[in-house]
Structure 1
Amino acid sequence: MKFFLSLCCCLLPGLTFAQPGINEMQQAQQDLSSSFFSAFDCCMVLAVLFGLLGALRIYHNWQMGKDQIDSAVAAWFFASFFMILSGPFLRALFGI
Structure 2
Amino acid sequence: MKRLLACMIALYGPLVSLAQPGIAEMQQASQDLRASFFSAFDLSLVLATLLGLIGAVKIYNNWQMGERRIDAAIAAWFYAAIFMVLAGAFLSALFGI
Q: Which moved more, 1:19-28 or 1:9-18?
A: 9-18
* Structure 1 residue ranges (4+ consecutive) displaced by more than 4 angstroms after TM superposition: none
Q: Give the 5 Å matches for 1:29-44.
A: 29-34=30-35, 35-37=37-39, 39-44=40-45
Q: Which moved more, 1:5-14 or 1:82-91?
A: 5-14
% same residue: 59
Structure 2 partner of 1:9? 9
Structure 2 partner of 1:89? 90
Extract unaligned runs of 5+ from structure 2: none
Q: Give the 5 Å matches for 1:37-76.
A: 37=39, 39-76=40-77
**Which gives a bigger RCO, structure 1 or 2 (Cα 8 Å, sep 6+)?**
2
**What SS does the aligned partner of 1:27 have?**
helix
Extract unaligned runs of 5+ from structure 1: none
CA–CA separation in structure 1 for the residues paired with 2:96 and 2:81: 24
Count of matched residue pairs? 95
Q: TM-score, normalised on structure 1?
A: 0.82
| CA distance 1:17–1:47, change in 2 (3 Å) | same
How large is the RMSD of aligned CA atoms in angstroms? 1.8
Report deviation, 1:13: 2.6
Q: Which moved more, 1:60-69 or 1:71-80?
A: 60-69
Is contact 2:59-2:73 (8 Å) kept? yes
